[in-house]
Chains A and B, each alone.
Chain A
Amino acid sequence: MTSITDDLSERELIEQSRSGNREAFGRLVFLHRERLFNAMYALIGNEEESRDVSQEAFIRVFNSLDRFEIHRPFYPWLYRIARNLALDYLKKHGSRRKVSLCSMLEDGRSQFESSRAVNHQHSDVRDQIYQEQITSGIRTALDRLKPEFSEVIMMKHLQNLSYEEMADILNIPAGTVMSRLFHARKALAAELAELGYAPSGKTTQRGERK
């Protein structure tokens, strides 16, 4: 069996996995497990179940590698298989997410912001408190969205998937994904406004503030 080195590309790992190299597949699992787990966690809302479903997805993927088109991105294919398993699971058990998205997400800037607040002016502390409130508002607002809206927002902004990848996973046209995401963001803005966190600050082109 070929020894796997760190510098093998994903494509090479897939090709080696296809020929039965478990070590190569283990590396693929290692590369994608956390991202996939997070996606399943957002759908199912339970760590152990999400862990099991993601493991099952990897097993299915290994058994179906012959059918994978090597020129296509691997993660969306893996995601689609895992998502189908998660939806089957939810249908079978008649359950939806048991914990809110609130408890799954955190402010990605909090560490930086807290160290900065200690070292700088009180205004920074106020900024931080404001930021934390906003973050809390977003999490609450996300929980209020329809599942199909929170799912596309999660896919785009937390999983960093492209429109084409999302379309592939959801089995809908890319245009529909874009339109759904537009309405999802709009619904999120409306929920934020209702919670008193109206997105303010008019922007100019591509997110630059006026």
Chain B
Amino acid sequence: MSTQSNHHHQPDASVEEKIAAYLEGGLSEAETKEMEALFLSHPEWREEYDEQVKVAELMGSLQFKAPTPGLWDNYWEEIDAKLTTKPVGLRLMELGLLLLACFVELIVWMLSENLIYRTGIVLLSVGFLIVVFNVVRGRFLEGNKDRYRRIKK
């Protein structure tokens, strides 16, 4: 991936920002000349720049160590196994709850004549069913899929 940046600066960009962009060759020709003029008139900024270059060079000599052999064993297979869509049981539960919610709504609608009362009861019952479903799903269906379970061990 290229590290080059074509970040063009606002006129009020700090000197630090401009030095960082200059280091990457990301300034326009005019901005580059401006920086070079600054370095001539302010040697302290030149020293700051030199220090940045040196640190960047030193960092360029480092790289990450290769990971422990075997780290990638089954890496993709474990991901692939978790990419399955919702389990069939979960889908059936969702469908069942939807039907139940419709049934409750129908009953309430039939038994009451007050619109506000009917709406309130319907919303309450549907909300309750959703909460129950989420609790059941969280406790029983996803409990064994805690992504940090192995880490906690």
Q: Which residues of A contact B (CB under 8 A)?
A: 22, 25-26, 29-30, 33-34, 37-38, 41-42, 47-49, 51-52, 55-56, 58-59, 62, 73, 75, 89, 92-93, 103-109, 131, 134-135, 138-139, 153, 156-158, 160-164, 174-175, 178-179, 181-183, 185-186, 188-189, 192, 199-203, 205-207
Contact = CB atoms under 8 A, between A and B. Distances in A.
Contacts of A30: 76
B57 to A, nearest CB: 6
Contacts of A131: 61
B62 to A, nearest CB: 5
Given A104-B65, A153-B59, A29 B82 contact: no
A203 B1 contact: no
Nearest to A44: B151
B14 A179 contact: yes
A153 B75 CA distance: 28
4 closest residue pairs by CB, A with B: A199-B54, A157-B59, A178-B20, A108-B63
Contacts of B64: 38, 41-42, 104-106, 158
A160 B1 contact: yes
B148 interface: yes
Interface residues of B, number: 54
Given A47-B67, A160-B3, A162-B3, A179 B16 contact: yes
Given A108-B61, A109-B61, A178-B17, A189 B148 contact: no
25 contacts: A26-B80, A30-B76, A41-B67, A47-B67, A47-B71, A51-B75, A58-B79, A62-B79, A89-B151, A93-B148, A93-B151, A105-B65, A108-B60, A135-B62, A138-B59, A157-B59, A162-B1, A163-B21, A175-B14, A182-B16, A185-B55, A186-B52, A189-B54, A203-B50, A206-B23
